[in-house]
């Protein structure tokens, strides 16, 4: 009888700790400011005056801004795997087209992610960091 009570208490405590453990999943309805892009091993900083971001929405949708153009699509996250599909964007001509293209290449090249506090790293299929983002207040999508 004591053994069964002990096992039940261990199971109960384990369940409580599991429920209280911090989640490392992407929070839905969250927005992330893009701070740095890495292309071919080179760091590309955000151009002055640009505010690129990525928002994870309900129903596995994404939206965001490259700094000039807007983009949208779908995402799938399972464990540490993360992929973006059906990505589309507006295609206005912008002064910083190289940066715009690098942002879209990073989104399309994402295969994994890691979360550490308010920082998210997007990674390619080989585990190389291709973008660093910082959590921000949710961005309103109204014009």
For every one of its 143 residues, what pLDDT tens digit does the chain have, with 9 covering 90 and above? 554 443 344 444 334 433 333 446 888 899 999 999 999 889 998 988 889 999 999 999 999 999 899 999 999 999 999 999 999 999 898 888 889 999 999 999 999 999 999 999 999 999 999 999 999 987 665 44
| 28 and 58 Cβ atoms separated by less than 8 Å | yes
Q: How far apart are CA 132 and CA 114, in angstroms?
A: 10
Span 121-135, pLDDT tens digits: 999 999 999 999 999
Q: Which two tokens stand for residue 9?
A: 């208490």
Is residue 100 classed as helix, strand or coil in its secondary structure?
A: helix
4 membership: H or E segment, kind and range: helix 2-20
| 46 and 66 Cβ atoms separated by less than 8 Å | no
| 44 and 37 Cβ atoms separated by less than 8 Å | yes
CB burial of residue 39 (10 Å; 0-12, 13-18, 19+) = middle
Is residue 142 classed as helix, strand or coil in its secondary structure?
A: coil
Enter the pTM of the model: 0.79
């Amino acid at each position: 009888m004591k053994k069964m009570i002990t096992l039940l208490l261990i199971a109960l405590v384990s369940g409580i700790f599991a429920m209280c453990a911090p989640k490392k999943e992407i929070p839905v309805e969250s927005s992330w400011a893009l701070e740095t892009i890495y292309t071919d091993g080179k760091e590309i900083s955000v151009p002055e005056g640009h505010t690129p971001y990525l928002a994870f929405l309900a129903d596995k949708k994404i939206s965001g801004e490259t700094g000039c153009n807007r983009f949208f699509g779908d995402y799938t996250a399972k464990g540490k795997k993360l992929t973006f599909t059906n990505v589309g964007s507006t295609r206005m001509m912008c002064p910083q087209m190289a940066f715009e293209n690098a942002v879209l290449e990073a989104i399309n090249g994402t295969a994994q992610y890691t979360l550490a506090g308010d920082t998210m790293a997007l990674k390619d299929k080989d585990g190389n960091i291709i973008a660093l983002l910082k959590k921000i207040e949710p961005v309103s999508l109204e014009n």
